[in-house]
Structure 1
């Protein structure tokens, strides 16, 4: 992320010099791969502690995040338990699930997201597209509306999205839930002018 100098340009808060608790939302497959690549350029001392969340049916993503944190702990001669925690959340909708039944599962996911947000109280929420992020971001946004400003939401759209935002990105953009929404293609920023173009991160 050459244009953002390792994400140091992100307006995290007035407490920019202090570590900020960070909630990292993982998706399956390419979403997780892109998020882990993004984490590689973050200053770990600023984004600390880190809370990783993945869908309840996604074991692979949390395993990859644990491998990353284990390697960081080995390098720094510290314990993973001091810097990272790993959690699961119910999915709003499984692949192939009908939209009617997804109404109920979405409500369950929202309640679970509410409990997680109250428990963690993250200062930063970092996500890049999986549907898992929507309940959490929605709860964080509702908190802001009622005056509880615990979290800033930073959304990084997938590099695969060249001309249109993903559904998750579009929801966060249209409802202005994200404090900043980053895109990796200039034509995407031209179509969605409130997004921030940061160049390709891969």
Structure 2
């Protein structure tokens, strides 16, 4: 009987610790500014969507100091061949980058109910990718592909297995409301950036620097 209670007590204690740690980080993220250690370089993960999201993220990527943000890992959906080609042709010509494919968490016109299961499926495939690469910073701008990546990175941070910061740049097409990804990540992203001043009323903690893409 004592062994059974001990077997239940340990998972319960771990769960309580993880939840407490998650709440602590969320409060810290919402109430303070993002700080990164002053490393000579930052292992960087960039979440590439499709279509307009790909265009915007590639424009952001072109403005990065590639000597500062290396090594770089681009995340694309496993059925998105065009974005992979665009990464190779429009930005990267060196060797300090790689591309990793994960299942798409939500397809166009997919119902929100079924997307819950596809997101869980994508999240399971994302765990080894994030844990192995161990990014210092993640850049994303709204595609569903970024949700599993950011969730996994946040959970690993909760368990002291990763020290990563998330930078979310809302898409230029979002003028008055946040995207679904933005509504979710406003509680997990260390830096929220919007490209329209009207969105600061929707998300007061968001930063506005003008049009970035």
What range describes the TM-score normalised by the shorter chain of this pair?
0.7 to 0.9
CA apart distance, 1:146: 2.4
Q: Deviations over 1:139-181 (max 9, x none)?
A: 11112222334211000001111111100011001xx210101
1:115 corresponds, among 128, 138, 162, to: 128
The answer to whether residue 43 in structure 2 is matched with residue 21 in structure 1 is: yes
With structure 1 as the length reference, what TM-score do the two structures score? 0.83
Q: Report the equivalent of 1:51.
A: 73
The answer to whether residue 193 in structure 2 is matched with residue 182 in structure 1 is: yes
Q: Which runs of 5+ in 1 are unaligned?
A: 1-9, 74-79
1:186 aligned counterpart, secondary structure: coil
Alignment of 1:27-42 (within 5 A): 27-42=49-64
Whether contact under 8 Å (1:181, 1:196) holds in the other structure is yes
Whether contact under 8 Å (2:34, 2:165) holds in the other structure is no
Q: Report the equivalent of 2:96.
A: 83
Q: Which runs of 4+ in 1 moved over 6 A?
A: none
Q: Which runs of 5+ in 2 are unaligned?
A: 1-32
| In structure 1, distance between residues paired with 2:114 and 2:183 | 23
CA apart distance, 1:11: 5.0
Q: Deviations over 1:41-95 (max 9, x none)?
A: 111111111111111111111110111344xx3xxxxxx3x31101111011222
Whether contact under 8 Å (1:69, 1:84) holds in the other structure is no
| In structure 2, distance between residues paired with 1:191 and 1:103 | 25
The answer to whether residue 203 in structure 2 is matched with residue 192 in structure 1 is: yes
With structure 2 as the length reference, what TM-score do the two structures score? 0.79
Whether contact under 8 Å (2:134, 2:162) holds in the other structure is no
Q: Deviations over 1:10-41 (max 9, x none)?
A: 9561224x110100000110001011111121
| In structure 2, distance between residues paired with 1:46 and 1:197 | 23
Q: How many residues align?
A: 181
Q: Which structure is larger by alpha-carbon Rg, 1 or 2?
A: 2
